[in-house]
């Protein structure tokens, strides 16, 4: 965080610590609980979730001793939010359910609405978008009943995000526009900016990148007007994504660098979807792309930084990358930095991504045993947090490492496991053909199928190699035919993949 924000943070902490000490001396248990709650909220605000949890647990303990149901409910709510910040969504759900029970028990309609909304956010974090929508709809209904316009707007915002998760971008835009309308009605400038940003993200999902850029610029402008640095950072990140999709890589890189700078200022490192972790990833990816193109990366960076020393400026002595003889960017130190941050804030998703990226980097150096070790850690974390997509990608990465090491039997097993898991994920989409086709075209799925045909070909199994090569491209088409002609389950199962060893 910048100097001013750090001073404000320290001042707030010192104030509430003094209040806590005074309450302890006076034997004032009630105010002790309030101080613990306030300290937890302050640490939550700077994304120090583990410290926040410690304080909220103390507040919870006091509220339970004093049998203050409303305060107990607030503590459960705060703990759920903090665990969401750490990416521990299942634990968050437990706390939010406790809050919901108490809110109903004491007749706290506002608290009940908040609980439903928070449960929706937690299920969203688990990727269970349909369930998230159900909870957000209840939040919306209660907010309307009690005349809570701000809560209504928040519910619309979250519904839009959930529909984006399902790939229903047009529906998402409708909800985000309702949020925008309410934000305008109640004079919520920050909410207005967030709405513009969300509409921009939905437009990107529809492939309307130029339109998306206009909305992201609106979000950026408002964020700067109201002094919302975190919002400005998110805007730069979204602009970077949109320009990248248009192939304007210099502009994309510049925006991601701004996102990274702001993210570090405001300590936005806990959420890999919004914070500096994603900025690191995009900068690395874009530099990798630029290195393969003309002009090469160093002149591009010089153009961006106007004759300054760009590599030293950008990597800030972290040695984020170096160029190999084959002109590939190997980002060992960058990925270790990413891993360090993810562990520091307890971001399991980011930690898993770091292990995966380290594995890929060591693969490129020919250090396959080391790579396998990192990919196994990635697989463990994916299973731990229930991230099936990451689990499938980990299996594919392990397969590639074993293939490069010459262990074709184990490589085949891991490629096969990856393909099967990807198919299970796709089956969960049911008949959402647009989402299935989008998912099937992802690079990881393609890599798994390619791995299978390479292994089969190396083992002389020509027919199986051809089948594996064609099966990946035929998946989305077959799903569409099943939907159109309502093929029976037996026919559908007859096309299931068989393992040939």
Q: Is the pLDDT score of 386 beyond 80?
A: no
Where does the pLDDT of residue 398 fall: very low under 50, low under 70, confident under 90, or very high at 90 and above? very high
Q: Where residue 265 falls among pLDDT bands split at 50, 70, 90?
A: confident
Per-residue confidence at 178, pLDDT binned at 50, 70, 90?
very high
Q: DSSP letters along 24-40, please?
A: HHHT-HHHHHHHHHHHH
Mean pLDDT score across all residues of the chain: 79
Compute CA distances 104 → 112, 116, 431, whole Å: 6, 11, 37
Two tokens, residue 145: 């009943």
What residues pair up with 323 in beta bridges, in sequence order? 329
3-state secondary structure of 405: helix
- Alpha-carbon distances of 135 from 81, 184, 306, rounded to whole Å: 16, 25, 51
Using a pLDDT cut of 90, give the percent of the chain over it. Answer: 42
Contact between residue 421 and residue 395 where contact means Cβ atoms under 8 Å apart: yes
Does the structure show a pLDDT above 60 at 138? yes
Q: How far is CA 267 from the centre of its chain?
A: 16
CB 123 within 8 A of CB 80: no
CA 469 from chain centre, in angstroms, equals 31
Q: Of 61 and 270, which is predicted with more confidence?
A: 61
Give the C-alpha separation, 42 to 16, whole Å: 10
pLDDT in tens, 432-452: 444 444 444 355 666 777 777
Residue 208's SS3 state is coil
Main-chain dihedrals φ then ψ at residue 427, nearest 5 degrees = -65, -30
pLDDT of residue 378 exceeding 50, the answer is: yes
Q: Up-side HSE of residue 35: CA atoms within 13 Å toward CB?
A: 17
Residue 153: pLDDT above 50?
yes
Which has the closest alpha carbon to 183: 172, 195, 197? 195
Phi, psi of 15 (to 5 degrees): -60, -50
Other CB atoms within 10 A of residue 481 CB:
13
Please report the DSSP string for 225-263 in residue order: HHT-HHHHHHHHHHHHHHHHHTT-HHHHHHHHHHHHHHH
Per the structure block, which two tokens stand in for 186?
A: 């109640």
The whole-number average pLDDT for the span 316-320 is 31
SS3 174: helix
Return all residues near 137 (Cβ < 8 A) that are at least 6 apart.
155, 159
d(CA 76, CA 374) in angstroms, rounded, equals 36
Question: Cα–Cα–Cα angle for 348, 350, 355, nearest 5°?
Answer: 95
Give me the pLDDT at residue 15, please.
95
Of 11-15, 237-241, 258-262, 367-371, the least confident: 258-262
Place of tokens 């990727």: 127
- Report which of residues 434 and 9 the model is more confident about: 9
Q: What is the distance between the alpha carbons of residues 367 and 350, in angstroms, rounded to a whole number? A: 23
3 state SS of 329: strand
| Average pLDDT, integer, range 113-117 | 98
pLDDT digits 0-9 by tens, 459-498: 677 677 667 666 655 654 555 555 455 444 444 444 445 5
CB atoms within 10 A of CB 91: 17
Instruction: Write down the pLDDT at residue 435.
Output: 45
pLDDT at 136 over 80: yes
226 pLDDT higher than 50: yes
pLDDT value at position 419?
83
The answer to whether residue 189 scores a pLDDT higher than 90 is yes
pLDDT band at 306 (very low <50, low <70, confident <90, very high): very low
Task: Confirm if 240 and 212 have CB atoms less than 8 A apart.
Answer: no
Q: What are phi and psi of 323, to 5 degrees?
A: -100, 130
Q: Specify whether the CB–CB gap between 249 and 219 falls below 8 A.
A: no
Say which residue, 251 or 195, is predicted with more confidence.
Answer: 195
Total Cβ atoms within 10 A of residue 366: 10
Cα-Cα-Cα-Cα torsion 363, 367, 373, 376, nearest 10 degrees, comes to 20
pLDDT value, residue 482: 52
More confident residue, 274 or 498: 498
Confidence (pLDDT) at 245: 79
Q: Is the pLDDT of residue 163 over 60?
A: yes
Asked if the model's pLDDT at residue 288 lies above 90, the reply is no
CA atoms within 13 A on the CB side of 361: 22
Residue 268: closest CA among 341, 165, 194: 341
Q: What is the mean pLDDT of residues 90-102?
A: 96
CA dist., res. 7 & res. 13, Å (int): 10
* pLDDT score recorded for residue 207: 82
Q: 462-485 and 433-440 are packed helices; what angle lies between their axes, rounded to 10 degrees?
A: 160
- Interhelix angle 189-205/209-226, nearest 10 degrees: 160
Output the CA torsion 193→198→201→203 (10° steps).
-100
- In the beta sheet, which residues pair with residue 176? none
Sequence-separated (6 or more) residues with CB below 8 Å from residue 184: 192
CA–centroid distance for 209 within its chain: 21
């Amino acid at each position: 965080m910048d100097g001013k924000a750090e001073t404000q943070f320290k001042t707030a902490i010192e104030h509430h610590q003094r209040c806590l000490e005074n309450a302890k001396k006076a034997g004032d248990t009630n105010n002790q609980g309030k101080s613990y709650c306030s300290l937890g909220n302050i640490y939550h605000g700077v994304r120090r979730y583990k410290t926040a949890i410690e304080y909220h647990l103390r507040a919870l303990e006091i509220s339970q001793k004093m049998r203050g149901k409303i305060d107990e409910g607030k503590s459960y709510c705060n703990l759920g939010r903090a665990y969401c910040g750490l990416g521990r969504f299942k634990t968050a759900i437990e706390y939010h359910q406790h809050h919901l029970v108490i809110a109903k028990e004491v007749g706290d309609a506002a608290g009940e609405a908040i609980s439903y909304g928070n449960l929706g956010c937690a299920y969203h974090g688990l990727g269970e978008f349909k369930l998230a929508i159900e909870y957000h709809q209840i939040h919306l209904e209660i907010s309307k009943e009690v005349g809570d316009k701000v809560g209504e707007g928040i519910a619309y915002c979250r519904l839009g995000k959930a529909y984006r998760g399902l790939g229903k971008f047009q529906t998402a835009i409708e909800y985000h526009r309702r949020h925008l309308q309410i934000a305008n009605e109640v004079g919520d400038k920050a909410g207005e900016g967030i709405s513009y940003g969300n509409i921009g993200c939905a437009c990107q999902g529809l492939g309307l990148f130029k339109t998306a850029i206009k909305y992201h610029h609106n979000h950026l402008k408002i964020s700067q007007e109201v002094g919302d640095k975190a919002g400005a950072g998110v805007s730069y990140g979204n602009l970077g994504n949109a320009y990248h999709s248009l192939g304007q890589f210099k502009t994309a890189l510049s925006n991601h660098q701004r996102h990274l700078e702001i993210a570090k200022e405001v300590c936005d490192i806990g959420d890999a979807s919004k914070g500096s972790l994603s900025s690191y990833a995009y900068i690395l990816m874009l530099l990798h792309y630029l290195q393969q193109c003309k002009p090469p990366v160093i002149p591009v960076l010089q153009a961006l930084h106007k004759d300054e020393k760009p590599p030293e400026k950008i990597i800030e002595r972290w040695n984020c990358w170096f160029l190999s003889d084959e002109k590939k960017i190997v980002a060992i130190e960058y990925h270790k930095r990413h891993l360090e941050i993810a562990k520091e804030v307890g971001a399991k998703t980011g930690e898993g991504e770091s292990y995966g990226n380290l594995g890929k980097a060591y693969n490129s150096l020919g250090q396959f045993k080391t790579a396998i070790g990192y990919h196994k850690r990635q697989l463990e974390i994916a299973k731990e947090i229930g991230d099936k997509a990451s689990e499938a990608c980990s299996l594919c990465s392990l397969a590639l490492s074993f293939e490069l090491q010459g262990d074709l039997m184990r490589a085949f097993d891991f490629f096969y496991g990856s393909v099967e898991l990807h198919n299970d994920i796709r089956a969960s989409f049911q008949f959402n053909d647009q989402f299935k086709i989008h998912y099937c075209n992802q690079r990881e799925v393609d890599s798994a199928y390619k791995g299978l045909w390479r292994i089969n070909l190396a083992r002389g199994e020509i027919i199986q190699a051809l089948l594996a090569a064609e099966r990946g491209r035929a998946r989305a088409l077959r799903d569409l035919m099943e939907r159109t002609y309502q093929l029976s389950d037996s026919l559908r199962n007859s096309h299931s993949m068989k393992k040939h060893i």
